[in-house]
């Protein structure tokens, strides 16, 4: 997938809101309620059969009364079945299919994620500048590109949502009050893409696959596990994503917890969490990617040793042990060690 200047999208005005970064903690970010699925990516390929091997765990908490006794299924990890890690099927439209990061120092960033996740790298399409694809055991998991020297912008992991027709999806984004800041454009023979923002300003990508289908393996350490939108409130923005991508919503009914899970064909694929004034002052509404790790505490030690920061320390939840961190350039992401 080609490198994209994700923050070139002009976000909607954030006036009228104040942020309190000191209020951020694990409960504020919904880790207790996230319907974590290790194979969120692989489970929603367009022609993938259901995995018969399943485990379950208790979802929800005392503050989410409608989910307190609900069982949430976590399907075992499975990668694509093709030879050499090649995938047989496209991702179903609306499914998060890829994550990409634009940075100022490409070499240093590769070193950080190589040590943290065990990634290797190979060159990718370079229409918009230097870009590499991260691989785990030879399978593609994410992309990292380099920003032009004159673009002094904050860096962030950006999820891409699958589409069968990126041009049509981009037009729907505009009609529903969102913005398209990049594309639609071709990324060599890999596919066609666009970068946009929702009406609240959160940036996301849209990917129409050709040769490159997206993330090629999930459910093992070093791979994306979940994507969650952190925004002011869920009501308005959820309608946007439902209309553009055809999601079904499942809301947590609680007076003090504003959370919606987005489903496709009955399966959870992403979450939206309304956190009000707890949004980071320097970010506003944004998508957060969770990466699976074997040991969250050990991963935090690596993060700090490699020059990153711990934004929210490790915390046990119903879905595993989680923490929020930032890489040396400030890109925020979450680490999750699945329940055992």
Locate 293 and state its tokens: 């790790």
Q: In the predicted model, what is the mean pLDDT of residues 65-80?
A: 29
Task: Please check whether residue 106 lies inside any domain of the structure.
Answer: yes
pLDDT level of residue 116 (50, 70, 90 thresholds) = very high
Digit-coded pLDDT (tens) for 91-107? 999 999 999 999 999 99
147-178: burial string, b at 16+ Cβ within 10 Å, e else: beeeeeeebbbbbbbbbeebeebbebbeeeeb
Please give the average per-residue pLDDT across 186-201, as a whole number. Answer: 94
In this predicted structure, what is the pLDDT of residue 318?
86
Residue 21 counted as domain residue: no
pLDDT, residue 17, reads: 25
Give the number of domains in the chain: 1
Domain, as residue range, for 92? 27-75+83-337
Average per-residue pLDDT for the chain: 79
Residue 41: per-residue pLDDT: 53
Least reliable range by pLDDT among 4-13, 240-249, 306-315, 324-333:
4-13
Reported confidence tier of residue 297, pLDDT bands at 50, 70, 90: very high
Confirm whether 311 is domain-assigned: yes
CA 313, 74, 206, 252 torsion: positive or negative?
negative
14 in a domain, yes or no?
Answer: no
Q: Is residue 13 part of a domain?
A: no
Q: What is the CATH number of the domain that holds 299?
A: 3.10.180.10
Q: Tokens 């490790």 label which residue? A: 314
Q: pLDDT per residue over 221-274, tens digit each?
A: 999 999 999 999 999 899 999 999 999 999 987 888 999 999 999 999 999 999
Residue 38: pLDDT over 80: no
Confirm if 249 and 261 have CB atoms less than 8 A apart: yes
**Rounded distance, CA 245 to CA 296, Å?**
32
- Name the burial class of residue 84, with classes exposed (0-12), middle (13-18) and buried (19+) by CB atoms within 10 angstroms of its CB: exposed
pLDDT value at 42 more than 90: no
Residue 37: the pLDDT is 44
From 3-7, 70-74, 101-105, 255-259, the region with the lowest mean pLDDT: 70-74
Spatial distance between the Cα atoms of 189 and 175, rounded to a whole number of angstroms: 29
Residue 280, pLDDT score: 81
pLDDT value of residue 335 = 98
In a domain, 148, yes or no: yes
pLDDT digits (tens, 9 = 90+) for 136-148: 999 999 999 999 8
Tell me the pLDDT tens digit for each residue of 164-179.
999 999 999 999 999 9
What pLDDT is stored for residue 45 in this prediction?
A: 54
3-state secondary structure the chain: CCCCCHHHCCCCCCCCCCCCHHHCCCCCCCCCCCCCCCCCCHHHECCCCCCCCEEEEECCCCCCHHHCCCEEEEECCCCCCCHHHCCCCCECCCCEEEEEEEECCHHHHHHHHHHHHCCEEEECCCCCCCEEEEEECCEEEEEEEECCCCCCCCCCEEEEEECCCHHHHHHHHHHCCCEEEEEEEEECCCEEEEEEECCCCCEEEEEEECCCCCCCCCCCCCCEEEEEEEECCHHHHHHHHHHHHCCEEEECCCCCCEEEEEEECCEEEEEEEECHHHCCCCCCCEEEEEEECCCHHHHHHHHHHCCCEEEEEEEEECCEEEEEEECCCCCEEEEEECCC
- The stretch 299-317 carries a mean pLDDT of 97
Is residue 18 domain-resident?
no
The answer as to whether 11 is a domain residue is no
pLDDT for 73: 27
pTM comes to: 0.78
The size of the chain, in residues, is 340
In this predicted structure, the answer to whether residue 52 has a pLDDT above a threshold of 50 is no
| pLDDT recorded at residue 197 | 97
Question: According to the model, what pLDDT value does residue 74 have?
Answer: 25
Owner of token pair 């409608």 = 66
């Amino acid at each position: 997938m080609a490198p994209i200047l994700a923050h070139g999208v002009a976000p909607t005005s954030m006036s009228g809101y104040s942020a309190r970064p000191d209020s951020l903690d694990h409960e504020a970010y919904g880790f207790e309620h996230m319907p974590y699925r290790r194979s969120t990516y692989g489970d929603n390929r367009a022609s993938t059969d259901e995995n018969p091997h399943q485990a379950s765990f208790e979802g929800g908490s005392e503050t989410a009364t409608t989910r307190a006794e609900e069982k949430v299924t976590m399907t075992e990890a499975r990668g694509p079945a093709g030879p050499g890690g090649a995938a047989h099927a496209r991702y179903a439209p609306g499914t998060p299919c890829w994550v990409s990061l634009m940075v100022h120092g490409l070499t240093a960033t590769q070193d950080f994620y190589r040590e943290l996740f065990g990634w290797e790298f190979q060159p990718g399409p370079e229409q918009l500048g230097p870009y590499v694809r991260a691989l785990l055991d030879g399978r593609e998991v994410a992309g990292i590109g380099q920003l032009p020297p004159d673009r002094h912008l904050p860096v962030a992991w950006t999820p891409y949502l699958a589409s069968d027709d990126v041009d049509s999806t981009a037009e729907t984004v505009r009609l529903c009050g969102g913005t398209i800041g990049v594309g639609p454009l071709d990324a060599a023979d890999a596919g066609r893409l666009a970068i946009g923002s929702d009406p609240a300003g959160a940036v996301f990508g849209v990917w129409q696959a050709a040769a490159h289908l997206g993330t090629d393996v999930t459910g093992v350490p070093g791979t994306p596990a979940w994507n969650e939108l952190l925004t002011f409130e869920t009501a308005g923005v959820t309608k946007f994503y439902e209309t553009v991508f055809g999601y079904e919503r499942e809301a947590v009914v609680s007076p003090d917890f504003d959370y919606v899970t987005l489903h496709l064909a009955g399966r959870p694929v992403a979450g939206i969490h309304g956190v009000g004034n707890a949004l980071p002052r320097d970010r506003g509404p944004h998508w957060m990617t969770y990466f699976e790790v074997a040991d969250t505490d050990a991963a935090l030690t690596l993060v700090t040793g490699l020059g990153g920061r711990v934004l929210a320390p490790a915390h046990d939840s119903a879905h595993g042990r989680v923490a929020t961190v930032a890489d040396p350039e400030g890109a925020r992401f979450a680490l999750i060690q699945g329940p055992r």
